[in-house]
Amino acid sequence: MSLSELPVIDWDALHAEAKHIMTMAYAPYSKFPVGVAGLVDDGRIVTGCNVENASYGMTLCAECGMVSNLIASGGGKIIAVVCVDGSGNFLSPCGRCRQLIFEHGGAHCQLMTPAGPLPMSEILPWAFGPDQLS
């Protein structure tokens, strides 16, 4: 799919979806709910929220849920992502989640930041991805 064929990114809609799914987060330990919404290259929006566990190492990040939603709903490539905290403020994904987004969105996937959208190539410079394995 060429860049001209990709859906237009409605950042307000992605932000609203991220804020909505954040309300579904299970965060009884940290009290830090997180929601994320991603626009897929076919126009779908996939979402995820964090799911904590008493054994903190088993906690699932919101981005893990989003990528799982992506795969379970037919796959595709994520082209834009909004991640928010409990107040709806933009969040930067952790390193593990940056890698997940890079794996399923690539270097050109856009992440909304307080300064505006930035490509994953800037969010995760020198990224290691599927291309390095071929």
Q: Which residues are the active-site residues?
A: 63
Label the pairing between strands 110-113 and 78-84.
parallel
Contacts of 118 (CB under 8 A, 6+ apart): 110, 111
Q: Please give the sequence-ordered ranges of beta strands (E in DSSP) within 19-109, or none if there are none.
A: 35-40, 45-49, 78-84
Tokens 């939603």 belong to residue: 69
Find the DSSP H helices in the chain.
11-22, 62-72, 95-105, 120-123
Question: Phi/psi class of residue 6: alpha, beta or left (left: φ > 0; alpha: ψ in -120 to 50)?
Answer: beta
